[in-house]
Amino acid sequence: MTRYLLIIVSLFQTVALGAPTAAELLQKCTETLDKTHTSFITQSKFHRYSNYKTDIQGMNGVADTYFIQEFRTDGQRIKTITQKWGENFDTPFRPESEKSYTSSVYIGDTHYQHDRPYNSPGVVMVSTNVKEEQKNIGVHLAFENQISQCFGHLIGDVERFDRIIKKDGIGQMSVREEKFKGTTYYIIEAKTTHGQYQIWLNPEKGYNFSKATVTRKPGDAFMYGYKVGAGESKNYVIENEEFKQVDGLWVPVKAKAQINDTFPNNGYMKSNWELELTSILINPGHNALNSFSTDDIKNGAMVMIDGKQPISTWKDGKVVDSFGYEVNLSTSKPTSLVGKTLPSIAEFGVALDPNIFKSKKLLVCFFDYQQQSNQNSIQALNKQAQSLLDKDIYLIFVQVESVTEQALAAWLTQNKIQPLVGASKIDLPALGRRWGVKSLPWLILTDKNHKVTAEGFVIGDLDKKISETGK
């Protein structure tokens, strides 16, 4: 009897030890998602119907919206394209023939966000020095990039659910089995600081998830480091209803999702989504396909760099300023002109007779007469104008900050300023990109061939810089 009991116990232990743990199952899911989510191009169509009641102005009523989307990534570079039409809260219904167009491209640490109504070139927002976390937020939490949800980036999360659970919920995780329509699912439950997760893993589909739910209560982490507020709840469900094999991998091709959130003062947000993946390429040749180009940005689109004025313009794949010069986006710092030919000062309304200035050195001083320190510098240089001319150095002043012609002329007359004076129509950041100007006053000295030999020095070093420039 004891012998049979030992055999039964031994068999039970073998079965128990052979059952996969929640951590092992989650790792299988991670491996599948990593394979399909690293490098691919997807095209999809999407329909969202939402009903809102909130305290936020403009976020009340019904939204019935349709999307055509494309999502491209190689694991580093990312591009999303969204075309949208339909009804959105108080916005009148827009037919498909008048759909809007939005593209978002991350190349290195630069981000191009292009929004184009159906009948205009639109606007491009360029962000430089974008951090990896900002890229994740921008792509995976963008409300219209719904395809990423099928691959585990759930609404309200910056990271994929498997990574969140591994970081935060591995110690509070359980698993159970459930059979539905002939398929056995492993259901992982995990409690995290981001909320309570339930993940239905389907071993017949490569341990992809067939369903995922997230329930968030006050204090749980949500989106950009925020937390669910008092009197709020956030509930999200997504179901991958249909899969197909692509290059030996199971890929979700049809999904539906629901949001059911509550807010204080009886507010709510209820959304129902339907998504169909119409095509997917895994590990495509992105360079040959030109996957991450900005060729879809139309000439004439207004461009704003890092949210600052001035607004530039998109032309033939480049950002140009108001004078048609290309804006260098590789760095947000001012460029240096040392060793380069001085750009034409004609853009400041200063006309130089080539017969007179061809063999003369130039000393250009950018200033703002509204600043007392600048006034002192201009007056000091003005006193040296003739002695500089005797050394074949022609002095030119350029007023930077916007002032009226009458006000500038009055100040010049009052202070008996003799050299030529121009005025910039662009502000200091733009002058930094074009002329290297970092502060005011800013001095630039050239040789007789108008090649810049020194910049950004103080007036006290002028004689030294002239000497170093040579004859």
CATH number at residue 59: 2.50.20
Judge whether 308 lies within some domain. no
Judge whether 326 lies within some domain. no
Judge whether 132 lies within some domain. yes
360 and 430 together in one domain:
yes
Among the candidates 265, 289, 313, a domain finishes at: 289
Backbone phi, then psi, for 125, in 5-degree steps? -100, 115
Report the candidate in 68, 113, 104 with the shortest Cα–Cα distance to residue 86.
Answer: 68
Q: What is the CATH number of the domain that holds 401?
A: 3.40.30.10
Task: Give the count of domains, the chain.
Answer: 2
Give the domain range for residue 388.
333-469
Query: Cα 99 to the chain's mean position, in Å?
Result: 22
374 and 247 together in one domain:
no
CB neighbours of 422 closer than 8 A, spacing ≥ 6?
A: 345, 348, 349, 350, 396, 397, 398, 399
CB neighbours of 182 closer than 8 A, spacing ≥ 6?
A: none
Report the candidate in 121, 175, 176, 164 with the shortest Cα–Cα distance to residue 315.
Answer: 121
285 and 339 together in one domain:
no
Judge whether 225 lies within some domain. yes
- Nearest-10 crossing angle of helices 161-168, 22-37: 140
Among the candidates 271, 289, 307, a domain finishes at: 289
* Sign of the torsion formed by the C-alpha atoms of 89, 91, 92 and 94: negative
Judge whether 266 lies within some domain. yes
CB neighbours of 293 closer than 8 A, spacing ≥ 6?
A: 105
Dihedral angle of Cα 200, 203, 208, 209, to the nearest 10 degrees: -10
277 and 338 together in one domain:
no
284 and 349 together in one domain:
no
pLDDT tens for the chain, residues 1 to 471: 444 444 444 344 434 446 789 999 999 999 998 887 778 898 999 899 988 887 765 567 888 999 999 988 887 888 889 898 998 766 678 899 999 898 989 887 788 889 898 888 988 888 877 766 666 655 554 444 566 788 888 888 878 899 999 988 777 899 999 988 788 999 999 999 999 999 999 999 999 999 999 999 999 988 766 789 899 999 999 999 999 999 888 999 999 999 999 988 888 989 999 999 999 898 999 999 999 999 999 999 988 877 665 568 899 988 887 667 777 675 545 678 999 998 888 888 887 777 777 788 999 999 888 877 788 888 889 889 889 988 889 999 998 877 788 888 888 888 888 887 888 877 666 777 678 887 788 899 999 999 999 998 888 889 899 989 876
Among the candidates 289, 310, 345, a domain finishes at: 289
279 and 365 together in one domain:
no
285 and 338 together in one domain:
no
Decide if 368 contacts 335 (C-beta within 8 A): no
280 and 338 together in one domain:
no
Judge whether 65 lies within some domain. yes
Judge whether 191 lies within some domain. yes
Judge whether 15 lies within some domain. no
124 and 37 together in one domain:
yes
285 and 347 together in one domain:
no
Q: Which whole-number Å values give the CA distances from 403 to 157, 400, 406, 422, 427, in the listed order?
A: 48, 9, 8, 12, 12
159 and 257 together in one domain:
yes
52 and 117 together in one domain:
yes
Query: In the chain, what's the furthest Cα-to-Cα distance?
Result: 119
